[in-house]
C-alpha cells in the first residue's frame, strides 16, 4: 500500500510539472484570418492573411485605423513571442554582440583617395556609430577638414543614412543625401565648404545620386515614382533656386526601365543611363555645357546590354552584342551607334568580362573564369598583356577608387575566406605591389593561419559543377558531426564571392563550418550560369542549393541534424523554396527579409521593383509564368508537414521586400506546420531592407541570428 501511494504521488507531481511547464510556455501568436479570394487564369488562390498589407499612407498616419492597428498588434505579438522564446539566450546574444564589436578597430579610417587637390577619406572614432567624412589638401602638413560629422547629424534619429557625397569641380561645394526612414528615399542638401553653411537648396524624394556639371552651380539628380520607387526622372537643378523650378531633362516612360545619371572618369561627359534586366540605353552631354540637349548613344534593343567608358576621342563599350559573356568595343564619340563599333577585346566562351578601368597608358580588364575573379593589364603602347596572380584557392578581387587618369598605379581590393579585406596599390609598369591597409582584427587569438579554406565542386542533378567555397577553423575533422551553415543568394546575376568576415569568426571559433554555394542565378560561371537560374529555369537555383547540401553531407562535413541554411531577400526566397522542397535536410534556417509571396507581388505593379523584374522572374499575367512561379513560390506551397527551426527577419519600412511577405509567410506556416520546432519572426519596426543603421547597432541583429544557431547546437558560451 505504501508503494502504491508513492507511485500515485509521483504521478501527480509529474503531471503538475507538465502543467506548470505548459502554463509558462509562451503561446505562439494566432493572427486573424480573413479569407481573400485571388483569381487569375481560371485559378483560385485563398489568402487568409492578405489583410496584413498596409499602404504607405496607413503606415505613416499619426492615428492608425483599425486595420493598421491589427497589423501592428500582430507584429508586436510576434516580436514579444520571439523575445520570450529567445530570452534564455540573451546572455549569449550580449556575449556575441560584444565580441563581434570588440574585434573591430574603433578609431579606424579608410585609405585616402586623391581627387584633384585633396585626399578624401572616412574615419571613425571610439564608440561612435557613424563616420566622419573628411579631406586634406595635398600640400604637406595640411589640416583635416571635416566635411560631415554623421554621428552629430544622426543624433535625433533612430535610423540615419548619409550617402551620395559629391564634390563640385572647383572643390568648394559638397552635395550629400539623407534618408531617415530607411525607405531609400533621399533628400539632397548642399554644403558650402568655404563657410560651412548648408544652403537653402533642398531636393526631396531622390535616389541619392548627384552629378555636378563643370560650371560648379548646376547638378543633375534622379527622382523616384512616389509609389513604386522606380527611378524614372532626371532633373537639373541650379544652386539658389527652388526645387519647383528644376528642369526635367529626361523621363523614363517604360515602366520596366529605371534611369540614373553619372559622369565619366574623364569628367568630360555627363551620362544618363536607362536600364532593365535585359537592356540598357545611354545619353550624354558635355559636362561643360549643362544646358545642352542629351544625345543618344545607341537606342535600346531587347537583349542588348552595354556600358560606356570615355577615353580620348572614343567611347569604350562593354557589351553583350553578339557576345553572351561580353566583349569590349570602341567607337568615336561623334559616331556612337553600334554599326560603328570596332572590336577591341573579343568574346570568350569561358571568360566573363565584368568591367574595365582606363588609364593614360593602360587598360585594365576585370574578368571571371571558373568562378574566380582575374585582373588583366594591357599596355596601350605595345599591346602587351599580363594577369595579376593570387594564391588563395578561393578569393575576391576588384579594382577600386581609381579616379586618377594619368598614373601607372592601380588600386585594388582583395579578400578571401581567410584573408581580411586588404587595399593594395599595384604599379602596372614594374608590377610592384604595396599593401596600404588590411582590416585589423582586434582579437589576440586571431591569426590567418588558424583557419583553412577549401574550394569544391558539387555535381548537380543535371550534371553541372556547382562551386562551393568553404572555411573552418583548423582542427575540424570530417566526421559528419560538425555544425555547418550554408549560405547562398542566386538571383539577378549577383555573384557571391568568397570573402572574409570578422563577424563570422564567432561561429568558426565555436566549431561551425561556413560554406557559400555559388548556385545558378548568380554569374559566377558566366552569363549562362545566370540565365540557367532565372525565369523558367529558376528552380535550378533551389536544386543547386540542395545538391550542394547533400554534397557536403556526403563529404562528411555535417549531417541534416547539424546543417543550417541562410539567405536574404531573393536569397530568402531560396530559403523558403528549399524548406518546402526538402524540409528534412536542415535543422535550422535563417530567412532575412525574404521574398516569399512571389505570385501576389509580381501581379501588383504598384509595389516597388515589380515592373523592372519581369525579366528576372517572369510576368505572372502570362499563364506560363504564373504556373511556373506558383509551383515554387514559398507562400503558395506551404503544406501540412514538419518544417525545420526557422528565424525570419524583416523591417516594417522595407521598400524592397515589404514586411507583409515574411509576416504572412510566418502566419501561414504557423497554421500548417505539424512540428514543435521554433518559428520566430523578428520585425524591426524602425528600419527597412538594409536593417539597422550605424556601425555597431546592426550587429545586434547578427547576434540574434548566431544565438539562434548556437542554441540549436546547445552551445551557450
Of 441, 472, 493, which residue is a domain's last?
A: 441
| Domain range enclosing 519 | 72-99+450-712
Structural domain includes residue 80: yes
How many alpha carbons fall within 13 Å on the CB side of residue 116?
Answer: 10
pLDDT at 691: 54
Structural domain includes residue 483: yes
Burial of 669 (0-12, 13-18, 19+ CB in 10 A): buried
Q: What are phi and psi of 444, to 5 degrees?
A: -60, -20
Structural domain includes residue 155: no
The x, y and z cell numbers of residue 438, run together, are: 588590411
CATH code, domain carrying 190: 2.130.10.120
Spacing of C-alpha 617 from chain mean position: 18
Structural domain includes residue 669: yes
Calculate the dihedral angle through the C-alpha atoms of 13, 19, 22, 23, rounding to the nearest 10 degrees: -120
Q: Are 55 and 42 in contact (CB under 8 A)?
A: no
Question: Do residue 199 and residue 225 come from a single domain?
Answer: yes
**Which residues share a beta bridge with 331?**
315
Three-class secondary structure assignment of 497-557: CCCCCCCCHHHHCCCCEEEEECCECECCCCHHHHHCCCHHHCHHHHHHHHHHHHHHHHCCC
Count: domains in the chain:
3
Q: What are phi and psi of 628, to 5 degrees?
A: -70, -45
Q: Are 389 and 405 in contact (CB under 8 A)?
A: no
Picking from 368, 365, 376, the residue whose alpha carbon sits closest to that of residue 395 is 368
Question: Do residue 523 and residue 584 come from a single domain?
Answer: yes
Q: Report the C-alpha gap between 314 and 569 in whole angstroms.
A: 39
> Which H/E stretch holds residue 679?
strand 679-684
Sign, Cα dihedral of 416, 419, 421, 423: negative
**Model confidence, pTM:** 0.89
Q: Are 52 and 655 in contact (CB under 8 A)?
A: no
Task: Output 50-57 pairs: Cβ under 8 A, ≥24 positions apart.
Answer: 50/600, 50/664, 52/660, 52/663, 52/664, 52/667, 53/658, 53/660, 54/660, 56/227
CATH code, domain carrying 463: 3.40.50.1820
Structural domain includes residue 310: no
Cell 565580441 -> residue: 99
Question: Do residue 294 and residue 359 come from a single domain?
Answer: no
Structural domain includes residue 433: yes
Q: Report the C-alpha gap between 232 and 249 in whole angstroms.
A: 11
Calculate the dihedral angle through the C-alpha atoms of 288, 289, 291, 296, rounding to the nearest 10 degrees: -110
pLDDT at 391: 87
Give Dmax (Cα) for the chain: 108
Question: Do residue 457 and residue 591 come from a single domain?
Answer: yes
Question: Do residue 469 and residue 411 come from a single domain?
Answer: no
Distances (CA, A) of 422 to 3, 134, 396, 443: 73, 21, 11, 18
**Which residues share a beta bridge with 706?**
none
Contacts (Cβ under 8 Å, ≥6 apart) of 6? none
Picking from 608, 602, 662, the residue whose alpha carbon sits closest to that of residue 634 is 662
Contacts (Cβ under 8 Å, ≥6 apart) of 2? none
Q: Report the C-alpha gap between 221 and 164 in whole angstroms.
A: 10
Question: Do residue 426 and residue 456 come from a single domain?
Answer: no
Q: Report the C-alpha gap between 177 and 632 in whole angstroms.
A: 39
Question: Do residue 430 and residue 481 come from a single domain?
Answer: no
Q: Are 131 and 175 in contact (CB under 8 A)?
A: no
Spacing of C-alpha 51 from chain mean position: 29
Calculate the dihedral angle through the C-alpha atoms of 515, 633, 595, 512, rounding to the nearest 10 degrees: -20
Sign, Cα dihedral of 352, 357, 363, 364: negative
pLDDT at 4: 39
Q: Report the C-alpha gap between 125 and 563 in whole angstroms.
A: 39
Q: Report the C-alpha gap between 281 and 319 in whole angstroms.
A: 11
Q: Report the C-alpha gap between 529 and 537 in whole angstroms.
A: 11
The x, y and z cell numbers of residue 550, run together, are: 547533400
Structural domain includes residue 211: yes
Q: Report the C-alpha gap between 691 and 685 in whole angstroms.
A: 10
Q: Report the C-alpha gap between 707 and 592 in whole angstroms.
A: 15
Q: Report the C-alpha gap between 38 and 31 in whole angstroms.
A: 20
The x, y and z cell numbers of residue 696, run together, are: 555597431
Picking from 211, 208, 205, the residue whose alpha carbon sits closest to that of residue 224 is 205
Question: Do residue 568 and residue 627 come from a single domain?
Answer: yes
pLDDT at 3: 45
The x, y and z cell numbers of residue 323, run together, are: 557576345
Question: Do residue 368 and residue 475 come from a single domain?
Answer: no
How many alpha carbons fall within 13 Å on the CB side of residue 338?
Answer: 17
Q: Catalytic residue positions?
A: 569, 654, 689
Spacing of C-alpha 91 from chain mean position: 29
Picking from 710, 690, 716, 712, the residue whose alpha carbon sits closest to that of residue 701 is 690
Question: Do residue 516 and residue 468 come from a single domain?
Answer: yes
Beta strand extents in 346-480 (DSSP E only):
351-358, 362-369, 372-379, 385-387, 395-399, 409-416, 422-427, 433-438, 451-459, 465-473
Question: Do residue 418 and residue 514 come from a single domain?
Answer: no
Distances (CA, A) of 648 to 95, 147, 184, 294, 685: 22, 39, 22, 46, 14
Question: Do residue 79 and residue 227 come from a single domain?
Answer: no
Structural domain includes residue 605: yes
> Could you state, in chain order, the average pLDDT of each consecutive group of 10 residues for the chain (717 residues)?
39 40 74 95 97 89 91 96 96 96 91 94 88 93 93 89 94 95 87 95 93 97 88 96 96 94 96 94 98 97 96 96 96 96 95 95 95 94 94 93 93 96 96 96 92 96 96 93 97 95 96 98 95 97 98 97 97 98 98 96 85 91 98 98 97 85 97 97 78 72 97 94
Amino acid at each position: 500500500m505504501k508503494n502504491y501511494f508513492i507511485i500515485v504521488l509521483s504521478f501527480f507531481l509529474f503531471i503538475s510539472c507538465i502543467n506548470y511547464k505548459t502554463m509558462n510556455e509562451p503561446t505562439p501568436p494566432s493572427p486573424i484570418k480573413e479569407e481573400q479570394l485571388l483569381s487569375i487564369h481560371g485559378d483560385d488562390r485563398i489568402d487568409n492573411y492578405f489583410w496584413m498589407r498596409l499602404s504607405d499612407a496607413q503606415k505613416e498616419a499619426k492615428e492608425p485605423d483599425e486595420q493598421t492597428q491589427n497589423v501592428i498588434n500582430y507584429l508586436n505579438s510576434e516580436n514579444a513571442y520571439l523575445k520570450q522564446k529567445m530570452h534564455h539566450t540573451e546572455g549569449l546574444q550580449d556575449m556575441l554582440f560584444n565580441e563581434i564589436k570588440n574585434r573591430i578597430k574603433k578609431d579606424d579610417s579608410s585609405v585616402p583617395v586623391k581627387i584633384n587637390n585633396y585626399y578624401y577619406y572616412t574615419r571613425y572614432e571610439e564608440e561612435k556609430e557613424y563616420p566622419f567624412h573628411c579631406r586634406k589638401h595635398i600640400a604637406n602638413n595640411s589640416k583635416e577638414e571635416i566635411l560631415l560629422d554623421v554621428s552629430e547629424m544622426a543624433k535625433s534619429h533612430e535610423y540615419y543614412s548619409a550617402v551620395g557625397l559629391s564634390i563640385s569641380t572647383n572643390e568648394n561645394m559638397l552635395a550629400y543625401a539623407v534618408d531617415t526612414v530607411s525607405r531609400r528615399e533621399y533628400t539632397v542638401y548642399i554644403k558650402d565648404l568655404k563657410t560651412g553653411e548648408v544652403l537653402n537648396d533642398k531636393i526631396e524624394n531622390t535616389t541619392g545620386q548627384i552629378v555636378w556639371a563643370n560650371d560648379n552651380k548646376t547638378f543633375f539628380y534622379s527622382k523616384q515614382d512616389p509609389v513604386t520607387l522606380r527611378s524614372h526622372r532626371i532633373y537639373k537643378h541650379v544652386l539658389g533656386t527652388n526645387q519647383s523650378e528644376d528642369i526635367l531633362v529626361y523621363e523614363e516612360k517604360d515602366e520596366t526601365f529605371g534611369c540614373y545619371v553619372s559622369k565619366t572618369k574623364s569628367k568630360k561627359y555627363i551620362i544618363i543611363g536607362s536600364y532593365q534586366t535585359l537592356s540598357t540605353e545611354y545619353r550624354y552631354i558635355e559636362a561643360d555645357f549643362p544646358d545642352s540637349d542629351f544625345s543618344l548613344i545607341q537606342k535600346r534593343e531587347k537583349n542588348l546590354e552595354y556600358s560606356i567608358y570615355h577615353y580620348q576621342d572614343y567611347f569604350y563599350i562593354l557589351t553583350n552584342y553578339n557576345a553572351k559573356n561580353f566583349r569590349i568595343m570602341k567607337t568615336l564619340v561623334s559616331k556612337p551607334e553600334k554599326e560603328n563599333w570596332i572590336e577591341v577585346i573579343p568574346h570568350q566562351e569561358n571568360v566573363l568580362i565584368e568591367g574595365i578601368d582606363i588609364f593614360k597608358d593602360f587598360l585594365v580588364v576585370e574578368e571571371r573564369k571558373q568562378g574566380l575573379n582575374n585582373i588583366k593589364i594591357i599596355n596601350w603602347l605595345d599591346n602587351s598583356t599580363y594577369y595579376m596572380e593570387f594564391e588563395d584557392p578561393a578569393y575576391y578581387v576588384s579594382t577600386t577608387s581609381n579616379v586618377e587618369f594619368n598614373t601607372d598605379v592601380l588600386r585594388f581590393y582583395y579578400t578571401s575566406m581567410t584573408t581580411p579585406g586588404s587595399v593594395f596599390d599595384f604599379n602596372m609598369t614594374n608590377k610592384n605591389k604595396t599593401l596600404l591597409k588590411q582590416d585589423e582584427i582586434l582579437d589576440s587569438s586571431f591569426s590567418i593561419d588558424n583557419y583553412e579554406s577549401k574550394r569544391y565542386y558539387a555535381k548537380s542533378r543535371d550534371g553541372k559543377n556547382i562551386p562551393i567555397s568553404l572555411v573552418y577553423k583548423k582542427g575540424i575533422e570530417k566526421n559528419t558531426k560538425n555544425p555547418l551553415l550554408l549560405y547562398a543568394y542566386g538571383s539577378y546575376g549577383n555573384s557571391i564571392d568568397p570573402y572574409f568576415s570578422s563577424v563570422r569568426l564567432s561561429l568558426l571559433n565555436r566549431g561551425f563550418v561556413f560554406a557559400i554555394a555559388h548556385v545558378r542565378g548568380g554569374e559566377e560561371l558566366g552569363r549562362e550560369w545566370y540565365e540557367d537560374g532565372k525565369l523558367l529555369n529558376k528552380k535550378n537555383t533551389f536544386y543547386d542549393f540542395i545538391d550542394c547540401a547533400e554534397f557536403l553531407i556526403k563529404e562528411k562535413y555535417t549531417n541534416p541534424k547539424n546543417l543550417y541554411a541562410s539567405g536574404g531577400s531573393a536569397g530568402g526566397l531560396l530559403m523558403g523554396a528549399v524548406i518546402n522542397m526538402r524540409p528534412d535536410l536542415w535543422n535550422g534556417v535563417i530567412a532575412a527579409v525574404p521574398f516569399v509571396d512571389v505570385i501576389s507581388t509580381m501581379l501588383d505593379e504598384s509595389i516597388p521593383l515589380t515592373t523592372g523584374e519581369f525579366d528576372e522572374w517572369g510576368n505572372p499575367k502570362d499563364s506560363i509564368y504564373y504556373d511556373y512561379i506558383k509551383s515554387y513560390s514559398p507562400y503558395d506551397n506551404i503544406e501540412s508537414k514538419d518544417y525545420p527551426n526557422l528565424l525570419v527577419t524583416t523591417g516594417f519600412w522595407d521598400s524592397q521586400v515589404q514586411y507583409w511577405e515574411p509576416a504572412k509567410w510566418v502566419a501561414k506556416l504557423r497554421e500548417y506546420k505539424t512540428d514543435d520546432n521554433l518559428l520566430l519572426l523578428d520585425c524591426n519596426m524602425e528600419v527597412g531592407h538594409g536593417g539597422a543603421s550605424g556601425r555597431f547597432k546592426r550587429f545586434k541583429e547578427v547576434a540574434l541570428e548566431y544565438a539562434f544557431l548556437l542554441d540549436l547546437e546547445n552551445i551557450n558560451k
